[in-house]
Chains A and B, each alone.
Chain A
Amino acid sequence: GQNIDQPTEMTATEGAIVQINCTYQTSGFNGLFWYQQHAGEAPTFLSYNVLDGLEEKGRFSSFLSRSKGYSYLLLKELQMKDSASYLCAVRVSTDSWGKLQFGAGTQVVVTP
């Protein structure tokens, strides 16, 4: 089976930094994605890691360690609009269709 674990909820204040961890145990690995999803809307792509290391994209950064089966998404200078669910998804390499396995999502609540 595939296991992708992330915390259920995190709360932080506006302007702060929050780190969302994701650990995975999958039969194969061909990339890890982070998506943002506001309630009632479709997920939007945030970042992609396939090699170890840090990928930075403005206020958002994502880190991957394949040997540890671990990733995190770092959100800096939090804004109220960042309140959303953040989904970690792994593309399992054994699947030629590029299927994604999603974690349960982390609800981030940004307070004033």
Chain B
Amino acid sequence: GAVVSQHPSWVICKSGTSVKIECRSLDFQATTMFWYRQFPKQSLMLMATSNEGSKATYEQGVEKDKFLINHASLTLSTLTVTSAHPEDSSFYICSARDQSPDRVTTSSLDEQFFGPGTRLTVL
């Protein structure tokens, strides 16, 4: 259980176009999902926290108008990189918390489950 998928796994686009990345929790409900960006040989940098049915909360320095996040259901969050530029080329990873009642009450672990990532290359 607790599988998170991302689509697409990789994408190449031209500068100025927009790219949408999907993050799905396949077998659990995820009220909260997180979006990270990772540059080569660097750690994960949290971009935003996505909450189902409400606006995302962005980390300092992340442009909310450029990185649009929509968390339309308990199993799906999308990240849209608008007007992408070469400097946006990166590895984008989402994660989700399993907040189903049985898991929350039996474990203080409350771990995040990570998707396989999306490699974005902007030409």
| Interfacial residues, chain A to chain B (CB-CB below 8 A) | 31, 33, 40-45, 48, 50, 87, 91, 97-105, 107
Contacts and interface: CB of A to CB of B under 8 A. Distances in A.
Nearest to B99: A98
Interface of B: 32, 34, 41-46, 49, 51, 57, 91, 93, 97, 108-117, 119
B112 A100 contact: yes
Contacts of B108: 31, 50
Contacts of A107: 41
| A contacts with B: majority SS | loop
A44 B43 CA distance: 14
| B contacts with A: majority SS | strand
Given A87-B44, A98-B110, A100-B112, A40 B34 contact: no
From B44, B57, B112, residue with most partner A Cβ within 10 Å: B44
A48 B44 contact: no
Nearest to A104: B43
B43 to A, nearest CB: 5
14 contacts: A33-B111, A40-B117, A40-B119, A42-B114, A42-B115, A43-B114, A45-B111, A91-B110, A97-B57, A102-B44, A102-B46, A104-B42, A104-B43, A105-B42
